[in-house]
Each structure stands twice: as C-alpha cells, then as structure tokens.
Amino acid sequence: MRAILAFAPLFGRLKGPMLLTLALSLLTIAAGIGLLGLSGWFLTAAALSTAGSAFNLFAPSAGVRGLSFVRILSRYGERLSGHQATLRLLSDLRAWLFARLFPLVPLSRRFGRGDLMSRLLADVEALDTVFLVALGPISTAVLTGLAMTVLLVVFLPGAAAIYGTLFFAAVLLVPIALVLASRKAGAEVVAAASALRQAVLDGLDGHQDLVLFEARGEAELASEAAVSRLAAARRRLGRNAAIASAAVQGLAGLALLGTLGAGFAALELRQVDGPLLAGLLLAVIASFEASALLVRSATRLAGAAAAADRLQAIAGSAPVIAEPAEPQVLPAGGEVRFEAVRFGYDPQRPVLDGLSFAVRTSECIAIVGPSGAGKSTIAQLLLRLVDPDAGTIRLNGCDLRAAASSELRRRVALMTQDAPVFLDSIRANLRIGRDAADDAELGAVLDAVHLGGFVRGLPEGLATVVGEAGRTLSAGEARRICLARTLLSEAEVIVFDEPTSGLDFETEAAFLTELPALMRDRTAIVVTHAAVPATFSRVLELRAGRIAEPSVPRP
C-alpha cells in the first residue's frame, strides 16, 4: 500500500473531481436509503392507518418519485465525474511514467518486452482505476455507515452499536483481510500476465521460424504454462473474493437481525411505531448497497498495490547515463573521435576493445563489418545511449560525458533500421524532425530524397495519412520519408544504423549513392552491411572490436 501512497501527489491534482464524485456517490446511496426507507414507512403506515381517505398519500408518493429522480441523476453525475477524473489520472500517470523512462533508455536490457508492455499498459490501467473501483467505493461505504449509525442513534439507539460494529466489520475488516490475503496472489497475477504476453509476442514474432523448424510444440508449452500460472493465481483471487463476499453478506444478515431484535424491543416499549421500524429496517438493508462492490474493490486494490510496486520499481531504476553536474557547451562543428574505446554489454565480454578512429567535419564515412562486430554499438555510444567502459568519445574535442544529453541530441541525430513511419499525415511524420518546418521546407526536403513528385501527386498531398507503420507506402518510400525527417533536423552529425534494411538491391544502391550529396555540410556516419558506393569519403572495416586497418580516402 505504501507504493500507492507514493502516487498521492498525482491523486491530489484531481481532488476536486474526486471529491465531487465522492459527494455524488454519497448522494446516490443516501437517495437509495431514503427511497427504500420512505417506501417501507409509507406502505406500512398506509396499511395500518385507520384514517382512510384522510391519510396523506400525496406527500410520501411525491417523496418517493423525487428520491428516484435524485438517485438517477446523481448516479449519472457520479459516473460522468468519476470517469472524467479517471481519464485525467490516466494521462497524468502516463506523463509521470514516460518522464521517468526516457532517462532509462534503452530499456530492453533491463526488462523483457512482455514485462515492459505489462508495466506500460496493464499496471498503469490497474492504478488509474484505483479511485473509481477501490478507494471511492470504500470511502463511500465508510461514510454511509457513519450516517446510518447516527440515524439509528437518533431513532433506534438500541440497534446503533450492533449495526455500527457489524457494518464497519463488513466494510473495513473484511476488505483489509482480503487485501492482505490477496496481495501475493495479486502480484502473481501481474507477473503471470506479463509472462503470458511475452510468450504470445515471441510466438507471433517467431511464428514462421517455429513452423519451419517444427518448434511450435515448445512454444505452445511455454504459453500453456503461462496460462496455467495465470489461471491458478486468478482462482486463488476468486476463492478469496468468494469467502470475503460470503462474510460481507453474513455480516449484513446479522446487522439486519440485530436491528430487528432491537426494534421489537423498542416497539414493545412504544419507543418506535410500526411504520418507523419498517422504514429503518429497509434503510439498513439499503445501506448495505454501499458494501456490494467492496469485495471487488479490495481485490482491485490488491492488484493496484502490486502494479504500483512494479511501476515504482521501473521508475526508480538508476539511469543508464549520468548527467554531468556542470555540463559543458559543445563547440560548433561535426568532428567525431573515438579514443581507445572499450565497451561490452557484459563487461567481461567486450564488443569493442581499443576502438579508435576519427571523422572530420562534413565527411561522409561508412562502417562495415560482420554481424556482432559492434557496428550498431558505435551508434549507441555516439548518441550516448550507453557510456564506454573505458576510453573517450569526443564531439568537436568535448568529451560526450561532459555535455548535457539534451544538447547532444540536438547536435547528433540517428536514423535506425527500424525508424518508424507513424499512423499520421506525411506532414506530421516529417515535422518530427523539426516541428517549425513549413510546407515549402517539407517540399524541398522531399524533392531532395526524390519523393516530392510522389507526394504532390497524392490527392491530399502532405495531408495524406499513411497507414500504420507506413503500410500504404512501399519499403523504399517509407525509408525515404524517414530520411527526409532526419534531414530536417538541425543536427550537425547524423548516424545511420543500417538505413537500407529491407530494401531491394537497386533501391538500396540508389539510396546509399545519393546519401553523401544529401548531407551537404554535415558529418555522416553510416553503419551498413551493404556494398558502399564510391560516393563515400572512406570505408572503415570493423573486426573483433577494432578498425581492421587504416582506411584511405576515396578518389
């Protein structure tokens, strides 16, 4: 529960909508209690009355109608206000989480993809509904019990202590016991759901290979194990919830019997009359409506506590990159130097060992080498997604570790092999590179990458919405959209990590041949497996973590 309390500042921002939701929820319960109590009094009084036609039927019936309308309207307002608060909380939670995730990039080495997806989706959703389905109903039930106890103190004092004790046992002790009993099972549900997502994602991504190598059986067994684990955890939660629900209903029955017994005693002493006793008994029954959702609320609270622990764990992770206490200003230019750089994802098995090379301002070079040689690692180091274990990387003579990451990202851009085309307009996709770019600049950069005529020929031009992941574009068109977006940035150094991945041979050759001219006065470092055309200044070959031999400028 302490993890949930850590999110109190986010809940505090929404105290207005949450208090309004709580007030409307109380009004709904109060109207329901009043409706049932008044109906019981009215029917009993009418049955026992000897006044005949002189008995006032209109005031009680008008009260019943009025309370019905109040209950309907307050319930609608409660749902409207509660869901609005929940959606705002969801937005705040995601903003809070992503603000803490960006310094932790890359996350893939810390968390599995399925685990990360669970934290970003299921855990956030479990926490954003905690007020609507847990804290709100519990608060409403407690306040309803207090109000009903006070009402009994006034009209039926002998029943107040019995009702109060049993009601608060139902709305506090049972849910607390359920939360404590379900905490381990709730955490297991979250973990098992994460494992199942990972198994499903692995199966989808590797389906072709699983079929080709007849390995579907092992994948299915892994999925079935995750399903069995999740089902067992959910059964434990369901069993605990069933026991708690039975306990709440039992306490409600005892409260009703206790109130009835005290009412009969008061009736004999003429402290209450029959209609009032009937109204109070029905009001007691109605008050337990507030406890109807408490079992589910307590179960959700247990899950939310586990989700909060997981979100705090990921948000509290130490950043991969430590920001300098006093950042230095990066000098102008695009000169890059790697000086005896050593790096390994496992420090005992370095990917790069003693790597040294230099790239002059405005030079366009290619780095080639076999898979696993560390080519992509060079791109990550230059963007300072990771820091070297030894050695120094400099930009215009400044050690990257001495510069602020935000300044470095403005000066160095990266286009990866899986750079995405988003489900949005072509204009919006391009402006990711530079938000202030106008349509003339967008047209110019599209012309530079040979897409200008294609885009202008579309019915909506720059406003044309491309499909998810660029599915309405060919692979070459999608790559060129990403290239145009990268060129729009004002970075002085651009790193291309396998930019022609997925392209056919002719498109790949054309892309790389034109790239140096597109860079103009910028420094370009291209990491590739492809054949490098003569338009590049130099080609560096990476083997065993080092440049194989000094490169010579190309004619």
Task: Compare 508 and 378 and report the one with higher pLDDT.
Answer: 378
Q: Which of 237, 12, 28 is nearest to 137 (CA)?
A: 28
User: Minimum mean pLDDT among 20-24, 207-211, 453-457, 527-531: which range?
Assistant: 207-211
Q: Which of 317, 518, 490, 495 is nearest to 393 (CA)?
A: 495
Q: Which ranges of 288-401 would DSSP assign to H, the alpha helix?
A: 294-315, 375-382
Residue 113 has pLDDT above 70, yes or no: no
- Per-residue pLDDT, 552: 47
User: Phi then psi for 274, rounded to 5 degrees?
Assistant: -60, -50
Residues 63-111: pLDDT tens digits?
Answer: 888 889 998 999 899 888 888 888 888 788 888 888 777 777 666 556 6
Task: Compare 33 and 214 and report the one with higher pLDDT.
Answer: 33
CB atoms within 10 A of CB 499: 24
Residues 153-210: pLDDT tens digits?
Answer: 999 999 999 999 998 888 888 888 887 887 788 778 877 877 787 777 777 777 777 7
**Using omega within 30 degrees of 0 as the cis cutoff, is the peptide bond preceding 350 cis?**
no
Task: Compare 451 and 314 and report the one with higher pLDDT.
Answer: 451
User: Residue type at 284?
Assistant: V
- Per-residue pLDDT, 118: 63
Residues near 502 by Cβ (< 8 Å), separated by ≥ 6?
Answer: 417, 475, 479
Mean pLDDT over the full length of the chain = 83
pLDDT grade, residue 332 (50/70/90)? confident
Mean pLDDT of the region 40-65: 74
Cα 296 to Cα 245: distance, rounded to the nearest angstrom: 9
pLDDT grade, residue 340 (50/70/90)? very high
- Could you identify the residue written with the tokens 């949930």? 4
Cα 146 to Cα 265: distance, rounded to the nearest angstrom: 23
Report the interhelical angle of 157-168 vs 136-155 (nearest 10°): 160
Task: Compare 502 and 432 and report the one with higher pLDDT.
Answer: 432
User: Residue type at 197?
Assistant: R
Task: Compare 57 and 157 and report the one with higher pLDDT.
Answer: 157
Residue 298 has pLDDT above 80, yes or no: no
- Per-residue pLDDT, 363: 92
- Per-residue pLDDT, 306: 72
Q: Domains in the chain and their CATH numbers?
A: 90-315 (1.20.1560.10), 336-422+478-547 (3.40.50.300)
Residues 379-415: pLDDT tens digits?
Answer: 889 988 888 999 999 999 999 999 988 888 889 998 8
Cα 292 to Cα 144: distance, rounded to the nearest angstrom: 13
User: Is the separation of the CB atoms in 134 and 304 below 8 Å?
Assistant: yes
Q: Which ranges of 130-215 would DSSP assign to H, the alpha helix?
A: 130, 136-155, 157-168, 174-205, 207-212
User: Is the separation of the CB atoms in 526 and 536 below 8 Å?
Assistant: yes
> 3-state DSSP call for residue 464?
coil
Task: Compare 550 and 86 and report the one with higher pLDDT.
Answer: 86
Of the ranges 54-68, 458-472, 479-493, the best mean pLDDT one: 479-493
Residue 431 has pLDDT above 80, yes or no: yes
Whether the predicted model's global pTM rises above the 0.95 cut: no
User: Minimum mean pLDDT among 77-91, 255-269, 291-305, 538-552: which range?
Assistant: 291-305
CB atoms within 10 A of CB 405: 19
- Per-residue pLDDT, 360: 92
Mean pLDDT of the region 497-512: 81
- Could you identify the residue written with the tokens 């026991």? 243
Mean pLDDT of the region 358-364: 92
User: Phi then psi for 471, rounded to 5 degrees?
Assistant: -70, -20
Mean pLDDT of the region 314-321: 75
pLDDT grade, residue 524 (50/70/90)? very high
Residue 515 has pLDDT above 80, yes or no: yes
pLDDT grade, residue 241 (50/70/90)? confident
- Per-residue pLDDT, 307: 74
- Per-residue pLDDT, 339: 93
